[in-house]
């Protein structure tokens, strides 16, 4: 995706792509809005079933990782290659911890039968099915984006190590970082919508 040396152009392309990602999730948020309007009580009740501690921990993890990604870019610009790689490794670690938490969270839900079509949810009110249906679709798609973002960060890490990304050629790292911030940003919306409904 190296469009000559026009970094502004590459950035425009990346922002347009990020925009499409926002609209992709936007479609799901439209569904959320419509169903929240239809089942406000069920959404509030079932939101309490979610583990706020793990949700909050995951939020903090992603915020830290966003900071370290941004810092890694600054480090590279100041030609501190090792520091840059270290910060990227921290971001990757945060991403991995996020997924581990998610695994335990989902695992627990499955264990107690809180998923669509489970025997425990047979005959449950419609709003409950919709709430957990949306919960799995949105956090699942977000988890997929975490994986993609981590792959991009890992790729950047390797390229920084091989000196293919340097202080003068930061485009790939910068765009991977932008993608990671997007993943973070979407979670900032997902977290209150599911975990903090009053």
Partner 1 sequence: MATTPSFFETPAPAGLTGIKAWLLTHDHKRLGLMYLWAVLFWFALALVIGLLLRLELMTMGRTIMSAGVYNSAFTLHGVIMIFLFVIPGIPAIFGNFFLPIQLGTDDVFFPRLNLLSWYLYILGGLLAIVSLFTAGGFPDTGWTFYVPFSIGTKHNVPMTVFAAFILGMSSMLTGLNFITTVHRKRSPNMGWMQIPLFTWSLYATAWVQVLATPVISITLLLVIAERLLNIGLFDPGRGGDPILYQHLFWMYSHPAVYVMILPGMGVVSEIIPTFSRKAIFGYKAIVFSSMGIAIAGSLVWAHHMYTSGMSDTAIFVFSLLTFLVAIPTAVKVFSWVSTLYKASIEMSPPLLYALIFIYLFSVGGLTGLVLGAAGPDIHVHDTHFVVAHFHFTMFGGTGFAFFAALHFWWPKMFGIMYNFRRAYIAATLTTVGFLFHYVPMFILGMMGMPRRSYDYLPQFAQGNALATVGGILLFTGIALMLVNLLLSFRSRIAAPANPWGGCTLEWTVPSPPPLHNFLRQPDIQDYPYDFTEILRKS
Q: Which residues bind partner 1 (CB under 8 A)?
A: 1, 3, 6, 8-9, 12-13, 16-17, 19-28, 30-31, 34-35, 38-39, 116-117, 125-127, 129-130, 133-134, 136-137, 141
CB 153 within 8 A of CB 40: no
Burial of 44 (C-beta count, 10 Å sphere; 0-12/13-18/19+)? middle
Nearer CB in complex with partner 1: 15/104: 15
CB of 34 to partner 1, least distance (A): 6
Query: What single string gives the DSSP state of each residue in 152-168?
Result: HHHHHHHHHHTTSSBTT
Nearer CB in complex with partner 1: 34/196: 34
CB of 170 to partner 1, least distance (A): 18
Nearer CB in complex with partner 1: 20/163: 20
HSE (side-chain half, CA atoms, 13 Å) at 182: 27
Q: Supply 124's token pair.
A: 């449950």
CB of 90 to partner 1, least distance (A): 31
CB of 98 to partner 1, least distance (A): 22
Nearer CB in complex with partner 1: 161/169: 169
Q: What is the dihedral of CA 127, 106, 149, 67, to 10 degrees?
A: 90
CB of 112 to partner 1, least distance (A): 18
Nearer CB in complex with partner 1: 88/130: 130
Q: How far apart are CA 40 and CA 158, in angstroms?
A: 47
């Amino acid at each position: 995706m190296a469009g000559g040396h026009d970094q502004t152009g590459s950035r425009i392309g990346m922002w347009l792509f990020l925009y499409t990602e926002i609209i992709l999730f936007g479609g799901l948020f439209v569904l959320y809005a419509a169903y929240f309007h239809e089942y406000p009580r069920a959404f509030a009740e079932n939101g309490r079933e979610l583990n706020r501690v793990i949700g909050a921990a995951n939020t903090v993890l992603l915020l830290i990782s966003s900071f370290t990604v941004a810092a890694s870019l600054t480090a590279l610009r100041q030609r501190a290659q090792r520091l840059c790689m270290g910060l990227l490794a921290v971001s990757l670690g945060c991403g991995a911890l996020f997924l581990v938490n998610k695994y335990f969270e989902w695992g627990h839900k499955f264990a107690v039968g809180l998923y669509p079509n489970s025997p425990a949810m047979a005959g449950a009110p419609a709003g409950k099915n919709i709430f957990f249906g949306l919960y799995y679709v949105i956090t699942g798609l977000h988890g997929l984006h975490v994986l993609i973002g981590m792959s991009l960060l890992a790729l950047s890490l390797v390229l920084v190590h091989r000196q293919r990304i340097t202080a003068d050629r930061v485009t790939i790292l910068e765009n991977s970082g932008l993608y990671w911030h997007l993943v973070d940003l979407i979670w900032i919306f997902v977290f209150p919508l599911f975990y903090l409904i009053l």
